[in-house]
Amino acid sequence: MKLIEYHVQNRIGFITLNRPEKRNALSYELVADLKEAFEQAENDKEVKVVVLKANGEAFCAGADLTYLQQLQKFSYEENLQDSNHLKELFLKIYTYPKVVIAQVQGHALAGGCGLATVCDFTYAVPEAKFGYTEVKIGFIPAIVTVFLLRKIGEAKSKELLLSGDLISAEHALQMGLIHKVITREKLEMEVNNLALKLAKENSGQSMKLTKQMIASVQSESIVDALNYAAEMNARARGTEDCKRGIAAFLNKEKLSW
């Protein structure tokens, strides 16, 4: 992974975008490295929570425009294959079996904003700008639209996607696009505290199943969704984590997961 840094500490897997000279723009290679890093963290038993962060001034400036220009020479089939490459990354993060926290230390634009959108938690500095600028260059925010509608609804999604305007971190917080705005000096500490809290206090199995439910029930009818929820409820009761958690609660023992 040439464009990604990866390390594990205190049961947290840190995946760091490392293309600062290009503002961590999403090239084919960077997307491939991200997919590989998330695969590695998923299979790493020492990792319970993942933090996605970046080196340099920007979190991610979106698609590499030089690369996009090259794609104009591609056939439809070649462009579809490339588009699926990014789709697979976003879907992997959205349905990831472990909690993913985005640590946004700079601007997150277009595909970079999409990258932050599909994470479970997004903490950002006040100076960070967010936005989907694709319509300003004759492109469309296609893949992220599917996830953004789920996250903030149609009206707010239209405001962002059709205007192409950049918004402040505070505005992004008000819209529900991100979860917390933190000063640059405290960003890393706050993200680490959240990751450590989740790793220590929560069952990894329970968080995995909860994420799976959130991703699944929204596309079902209310009857099918409730049937699925009842099945998940019953299945969760038989897990070792549930048995251990209930026993500890009844015995007034403090759990450390």
Residue 9: both structure tokens together: 């500490």
Task: Judge whether 134 counts as a catalytic residue.
Answer: yes
Inter-residue contact 125 to 116 (CB < 8 Å)? no
Catalytic one of 39, 127, 134, 188: 134
| CA-to-CA separations, 176 to 39, 148, 161, in angstroms, rounded | 28, 10, 15
Sign of the four-CA dihedral 161, 139, 122, 236: positive
| CA-to-CA separations, 238 to 80, 166, 243, 246, in angstroms, rounded | 42, 47, 7, 11
> Which active-site residues does the annotation give?
134
